[in-house]
Chain A
Amino acid sequence: MCKEKLLLSGNEAVARGAWEAGVKAGTGYPGTPSTEILENLHKYAGVECEWSVNEKVALEVGLGASYAGARTLVTMKHVGVNVAADPLFTAVYTGVNGGLVIVTADDPDMHSSQNEQDNRNYARSAKLPMLEPSDSQEVKEYAIKAFEISEEFDTPVFLRMVTRIAHSMTVVEPGERHEHAVSGFTRNLRKYVMVPGFARERHKVVEKRLIDIEKNAGRLGMYRIENLPEDHAKTGIVTAGICYTYVKEVFPEMPVFKLGMVHPLPGRELLEFCAEFDEVIVVEELDPFIEDYLKARGVKTRGKDVLPIIGEYTPSMLRNAFGGAKQVNNVPALPFALPSRPPGLCAGCPHRTIYEILSKMGATVSGDIGCYALGALPPFHAMDTCVDMGASITVAQGMEIAVGREKTAKTVAVIGDSTFAHSGITGLINASYNKRHTLTIVLDNGTTAMTGMQPNPLSGETINGVPTWALDYRKLAEAVGLKDENIKIVDAYKKTEVEDALNELIERNELSLLVIKGPCMINQRKKKKTATA
């Protein structure tokens, strides 16, 4: 029976594809632009999902599910793969049992990220295949294909999304779910126990596997050639993913080698295609990943000579770089310079209190990743560093080593609740173990707000809204080694209380923890709405 077509975002299509492929387990950590994948997947029947504590944990839990025979989806944003890199590189050695697909959602242009890394480089260095779709229909097809490749070649498979694919909605033809029986775990020391003796053997398997996958790219449907001319021609284009849609938009008649798999590249077919042309234009955002490959094999390419290595592309950008039918609307000179609309902390946001105080105090603030990074902007200017998840607590310790305890008396670490659980706790243990004196301030708004309100280990709720144990700050801090008088938990909306606690802890200049609790206003409103609906 032909089902009615659906209009799905790329992220909804990943969830749909995984579900149709019979996925049994879904793990991940929220991060724009990947978050909606698990938010959708957990609503399907027959799939057990979790928000894991961080991406490393998510991949390891996913790996266990795969070893025990379940088809498993693991999701994260591009920088999440940095956190998960440790298990990733060795998971490629062990291979899988049930299909294991890892979504890396890259964010060219950094719409909501701290860097712009191109995770195709991870596929190459960790030596696993990576598929890159160009719209939601292809996302769904590639998600299913990724599970098949994973099992046929015994490897984890990357599915690379970018923001424009993840958040665009396009028409999708839904299919049925194909159940995939869970085999259970079978002991196999040489495959699953990566001690040096066994790992040496597995590395050989990894290298051979990549060659096998490359040879099978055609059979797997992982590339397509369009508009191939009969005779030798001047210019051909090589592209993949979102850039393919821009190429088709601007140069619909041009010969195109459209890659579905960006690692390993189908070398033989790709070079045969390139040999048909005087020069080959490579259209790819961020790093010259494909272009470098072709250049190294003697192909005369163009791409990064005219297109930027930074940010997203647009159809207009291709037009300006390589010509094509122009249709430009010259806008008359505007009557005034357009004011920007910079993001800021919401009116009524519980984080405002502490930033007002820290700003007035002139504190040095070692910051972290989340909504509260907006405290760096006007009117507060109350954040001095922001690097990666958990770095607030540890960077402050390094400053103490450099300039001494006295001079860092007014240096504080500021971190959100979800980030604290993700990567902050180890930093706190490090501080205690090494006799540092940092004050860590946890801004607990009861949710992972920046990514759209996901529950976390401090909010007492699972991904399905089921009540669960919420981590106890006081017991945790005591176990780490903080003195009772150096642990304070206050209400964000009682400014005097917050101020007094902060002053007292700064005055004492010992290793301390200040938890400031105040619910996220947006989340409160959302919850109220759901309750009355």
Chain B
Amino acid sequence: MKNKITNILMVGVGGQGTVLSSNILSLAAMFDGHDVKKNEIHGMSQRGGSVFSHIRFGEKVYSPVIPEGEADVLFSLEEIETLRWLQFLKPAGSIICLDEKILPSNQTSYPEGTLEFLKKNYKKLYILEPQILKKELNNVKVLNVALLGALSKLIEISDNSWIKAIRELVPAGTEELNIKAFEAGKQLLSY
């Protein structure tokens, strides 16, 4: 029997909080009984750099690093960063891209045409408007968890495990707010 592994590549810019999102996803996958490996690099990249996290789950996972061309979902919190990691996406893979532009420190203007390029070349593309979420949730800090709600529509992890992982990892006192954000995020991929 083929050992089916689900690969999610989460990317963004230092400070956007990809680490919490990737921790919640990894823990939820473990609660569902999967073997899980997650990889990211800490260190100098924290200071405003490009950030990534590989999450892999299935019956038995060996490499913590996703081979190029094998990511089921590229989950991106920033437009340029989406483009940076496209070689990891598998041919029929999905992209979740937050419509967020963060200017690199060595640039004076943000490059044009990111979303147009993605729309032209990728069919399974979900561009999420941060404004809608921010308005609906009235709290920017839970944006990551809302995006996980959107991701939950594309991969098979039980709701119970998602909720259990969120409760375990978000700061004490913000559990209900985060679960609300997760539920709101789910709705984003239904239209």
Contact = CB atoms under 8 A, between A and B. Distances in A.
Interface of A: 5, 7, 32-33, 111-112, 135, 163-164, 167-171, 242, 244-246, 248-250, 252, 314-316, 319, 326-329, 331-332, 334-336, 338-346, 371, 374, 378, 450, 452, 533
Contacts of B43: 32-33, 111-112, 450
B26 A340 contact: no
A170 B64 contact: yes
Interface stretch (B81-89, B126-134, B147-155): B81-89
B48 A343 contact: yes
A346 B47 contact: yes
A330 to B, nearest CB: 9
A339 B67 contact: no
B89 A329 contact: yes
Nearest to A349: B47
Nearest to A343: B47
Contacts of B49: 341-343
Interface residues of B, number: 53
Contact of B105 (A169, A328, A335, A341): A341
- Of A32, A316, A450, the most chain B CB neighbours within 10 A belong to A316
A314 B67 contact: yes
Nearest to A5: B30
Interface in B1-60: 13, 23, 26-27, 30, 35-50
A224 to B, nearest CB: 14
A244 B113 CA distance: 41
A82 to B, nearest CB: 19
Given A167-B39, A245-B63, A344-B48, A339 B107 contact: yes
Given A341-B49, A344-B105, A316 B68 contact: yes
Contact of A328 (B50, B68, B111, B112): B68
- Of A167, A242, A329, the most chain B CB neighbours within 10 A belong to A329
A329 B86 contact: yes
Interface of B: 13, 23, 26-27, 30, 35-50, 61-65, 67-70, 80, 83-84, 86-91, 93, 104-107, 111-114, 116-117, 121, 171-172
Given A111-B44, A169-B37, A164 B65 contact: yes
A345 B47 CA distance: 7
Contacts of B45: 111, 343
Contacts of B111: 335-336, 339
Given A314-B67, A326-B69, A328-B69, 10 more contacts: A7-B26, A170-B37, A170-B38, A170-B61, A245-B64, A249-B62, A338-B80, A338-B84, A339-B111, A344-B105
B53 to A, nearest CB: 10
A450 B40 CA distance: 17
Contact of B93 (A329, A334, A345): A329
B85 to A, nearest CB: 10
B86 A343 contact: no
B36 A171 contact: yes
Contacts of B121: 332
Contact of A340 (B30, B46, B64, B104): B104
A335 B82 CA distance: 13
- Of B44, B49, B112, the most chain A CB neighbours within 10 A belong to B44
A329 B91 contact: yes
A4 to B, nearest CB: 10
A7 B30 contact: yes
Nearest to B113: A335
The 5 closest A-B pairs by CB, nearest first: A112-B43, A168-B64, A249-B63, A248-B62, A315-B67
Nearest to B81: A341
A327 B42 contact: no
Given A7-B26, A170-B36, A327-B90, A112 B104 contact: no
29 contacts: A33-B42, A135-B64, A164-B64, A167-B40, A167-B41, A168-B39, A169-B37, A242-B64, A314-B65, A314-B68, A316-B67, A319-B67, A326-B69, A328-B68, A329-B89, A329-B93, A331-B86, A334-B83, A338-B80, A339-B107, A340-B104, A341-B49, A342-B105, A342-B106, A343-B48, A346-B48, A374-B47, A378-B106, A450-B44
Nearest to A113: B43
A169 B43 CA distance: 16
